[in-house]
């Protein structure tokens, strides 16, 4: 079980690199664009749309990473006062719903990628095909779902295991 956690850790390193790199790339691209605009009146062609696809990859990859750091927001204000079994059952169940939601978004992104291929959808100026970015969206959502699933299993395990209980409670606020 915890071995799976280690594998997941490794995947989130990749996700963190995509998000770190993405936001730095957005910064560098836009700084370069503004410098060229102000000095030579020559903005970078297509900077706008490169920024948009970079932002898509960055944001999508960040979800999984933020989940591994427990940075997403859960209101635990009420459930922390529930009796043990109900508390972790409810939390696990919510984790399961979260997982399914992330899977649904990933599935929708695959459909969107296929549709983008058949329509030949591309960006406006540089004519970059759009479908790879939907595949990236799908992939990152599935990784997000995987981490959510892992956290869900820990939540259910917390009903019987003190060790898991500690892990879950340590991420709770409110």
Instruction: Say whether 149 sits in a helix, a strand or coil.
Output: helix
What is the contact mask toward another protein in residues 25 to 64, using x (rule: CB under 8 A)? Answer: -xxxxxx-xx--xx--xxx-xx-xx-xxx-xx-xxx-xx-
CB of 7 to another protein, least distance (A): 21
Smaller CB separation from another protein, 23 or 161: 23
Q: How far, in Å, CA of 53 to CA of 116, rounded?
A: 14
138 φ/ψ angles, rounded to the nearest 5 degrees: -60, -50
Strand partners, 122: 129
Residue for token pair 């978004």: 105
What is the contact mask toward another protein in residues 110 to 139, using x (rule: CB under 8 A)? Answer: -xx--x---xxxxxxx-x-----xx--x--
Per CB under 8 A, the segment of 3-11, 75-83, 158-166 that binds another protein is: 75-83
Smaller CB separation from another protein, 123 or 161: 123
Q: How far, in Å, CA of 115 to CA of 109, rounded?
A: 10
Q: How far, in Å, CA of 30 to CA of 47, rounded?
A: 7
The C-alpha angle with vertex 154 and arms to 153 and 159, in degrees rounded to 5, equals: 100
Residues in region 77-116 near another protein by CB under 8 A: 77-79, 90-91, 93-95, 97-98, 100-102, 104-105, 107-109, 111-112, 115
Binding of residue 159 to another protein (CB under 8 A): no
């Amino acid at each position: 079980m915890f071995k799976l956690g280690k594998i997941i850790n490794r995947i989130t390193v990749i996700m963190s690199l995509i998000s770190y790199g993405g936001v730095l790339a957005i910064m560098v691209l836009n700084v370069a664009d503004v410098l060229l605009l102000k000095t030579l009146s020559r903005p970078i062609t297509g900077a706008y749309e490169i920024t948009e696809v970079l932002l898509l990859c960055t944001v999508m990859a960040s979800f999984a990473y933020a989940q591994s750091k427990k940075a997403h927001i859960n209101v635990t204000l009420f459930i922390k006062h529930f009796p043990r079994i109900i508390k972790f059952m409810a939390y696990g169940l919510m984790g399961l719903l979260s997982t399914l939601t992330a899977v649904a978004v990933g599935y929708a992104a695959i459909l969107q990628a296929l549709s983008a291929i058949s329509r030949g959808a591309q960006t406006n100026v540089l004519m970059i095909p759009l479908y790879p970015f939907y595949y990236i969206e799908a992939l990152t959502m599935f990784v997000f779902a995987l981490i959510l699933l892992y956290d869900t299993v820990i939540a259910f395990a917390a009903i019987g295991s003190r060790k898991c209980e500690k892990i879950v409670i340590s991420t709770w606020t409110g």
